[in-house]
Amino acid sequence: MTSLLTVYPSRITITPERKRNSINDSLNVLIKQKNKAIKNTSYKLNFKAAKNPFKLSKTSKRKLFDSINAMYVLSAPRKITMQTGKCIYNYKMSFITLTLPSKQQHNDTFIKSECLNQFLVEIRKHYAVNNYVWKAELQRNKNIHFHLIIDKYIDYQALRRRWNRILNKHNYVNVYKEKMSKLTFRQYVELRRKSKKTDIRVIHKSFKAGKKSKWANPNTVDVKSVYSKKDLAVYLSKYVTKQVSNQSEDAETLKREISFGRSWSRSYSLAQLSYKNKLLLSECLELINYLKSIPKLVKHVIGNWYEVFYFNISCLSNEFKAFHNTIMLANASLSNYPFP
């Protein structure tokens, strides 16, 4: 039986060639796909999830990591000039954290559909952000917060103003202003050091900035730029792979599993990105033998009817990188992927 090789962002699979479907079978598949698409026409429904949203299944993890890695591979490194005049070299992606400035007053699905959804709509419209992945989590204070990965640079101050404006439609910034305006500097120091130890000079600077803005622009947005695969790995392990199961599952957390809704999602462009370019194994034996020759860099998994090679592309040879990049770009073009 002929074996086919499929190239993904961080792995290669070898599987037997599938039997071709008849015309009737193909039509039935298309009808099922169309019916499924109709059911998901409302974007806001995308924030409602089933089962336990705090514990990602293997399939969800694979899709999540494939989407983020694909964004990284398909985002060409580029020079960014910031508003300050400083330059960012080899920029590829941004990791953005969105938080609430005051105690959460609405359920999780409401925050996603009314706040996160509006934020995504606006950055698509104003900054042409077509490719993104978001993941929702709970903070220690039980507020929901979001990690958003995009492949376009946006100034963090612009993001913060936009996110705060959206939040304050539901009074979150006003509640923060009312609380903070009553604090003395000593009380502010105590509040800041409850969450983490911070240098007193940094706290004093933040206090002065807060007073100057009349506490109307809380620090609800954090942005980190991705320049390399190493950065990506660090951010993925720190922000994206965390699960509530690693924290104490108290009664409130367990209760919120039911109403939390979807814990992650991705842009249409990434959901539609397919890996249709399948190569004959017989034509790629040299590359496969290369992967087998470096077991410390490549994880090789063998099943009953498949083989998978997991790798970090940045650690492999230039010849393999060129091959991988060519196939990834070809797949993206076939899927009409909007390159940044």
Q: What's the pLDDT tens digit per position in 13-69?
A: 999 976 655 555 555 656 666 565 544 444 455 555 555 666 778 888 889 989 999
Q: In DSSP terms, which residues pair with 137 in a beta bridge?
A: 145
Distance CA(233)–CA(245), nearest Å, equals 21
Mean pLDDT of 323-329: 94
Sign of CA dihedral 29, 31, 32, 34: positive
Distance CA(257)–CA(142), nearest Å, equals 12
- What backbone phi and psi angles, to 5 degrees, belong to 48? -95, 125
**In this predicted model, what pLDDT tens digit does every residue of 97-147 receive, in sequence order?**
999 999 999 999 999 999 999 999 999 999 999 999 999 998 888 899 999
Cβ atoms of 97 and 146 within 8 Å: the answer is yes
Bridge-based pairing of strands 144-150 and 221-226 is: unpaired
pLDDT given for residue 277 in this prediction: 83
Residues 6+ apart with CB under 8 A from 325: 73
Q: Pinpoint the alpha helices (H) of the chain.
A: 23-39, 58-74, 108-110, 117-127, 156-168, 172-180, 185-195, 200-212, 229-235, 251-259, 268-271, 285-292, 318-334
The model's pTM: 0.84
CATH class of 49-170+217-271: alpha beta
Mean pLDDT of 260-286: 91
Cβ atoms of 109 and 59 within 8 Å: the answer is no
CATH 3.30.70.260 region(s) of the chain?
Answer: 49-170+217-271
How many degrees, rounded to 5, is the angle at CA 145 between CA 84 and CA 171? 85
- In percent, the amount of the chain with pLDDT more than 90 equals 59
Residues 6+ apart with CB under 8 A from 66: 8, 9, 10
Distance CA(232)–CA(97), nearest Å, equals 15
Cβ atoms of 206 and 192 within 8 Å: the answer is yes
